[in-house]
Structure 1
């Protein structure tokens, strides 16, 4: 089955984006999810002050019609100017255990960043260094 990546648009899709990791990690005792209301504010251009100097796109991955992954692509123009970089960040990356899904999610953000003139990719990072960062991986329990 092919993996299909869809750009998130609209409130319904952003809710899917936020809820995905709750479902993915619901049986993992080491996962401590962010508050849903905090995540709604984080991804709301009207409520997150970082959007004054950041732009972002969010992507969902589907396989056989089932949601199997998510990723955010972020360009922090202020940080890029300060550090003289052309860097796209990836964040909020979660996926089922499937190399095709993870590879395509990262490639999608890489291509989006290139289309915006970026030359490097780094993550997982948020909009700024004040956002939660990191990934849950096997072997650290």
Structure 2
């Protein structure tokens, strides 16, 4: 009886130790999306459904910049066209953009599905059937260089 009890205690201790070691390794190697998105991204492709609607002139001039202060700026040919605040739901990979330039003066966040892989940022529209048709693909122009596959 005493041997069985000691075996159970030893087994539980091993499981707790192994679990805590795994959790520590995962947090050390895992990077947060909000840290990886910081930098300037240049648009490379735009899709309406499955149809690519990008022209070469579009991709040369449109950028979006994310700062460490959770601000964003979109530019067209170096002219600022929008800016505001952003936040990211790390668990669901959702980007929220809250524009300072809203028509009625009241900023409402716009949701985007977000994917980062090998210095490619993909934003997919969310929230309405019209928005869900569109997908924007950006390539890193400058900023954070440490990026893995998600």
Q: TM-score range by the shorter chain?
A: 0.3 to 0.5
Task: Report the TM-score when normalising by structure 2.
Answer: 0.31
More helix by share: 1
Q: Which has the larger radius of gyration?
A: 2
More strand by share: 2
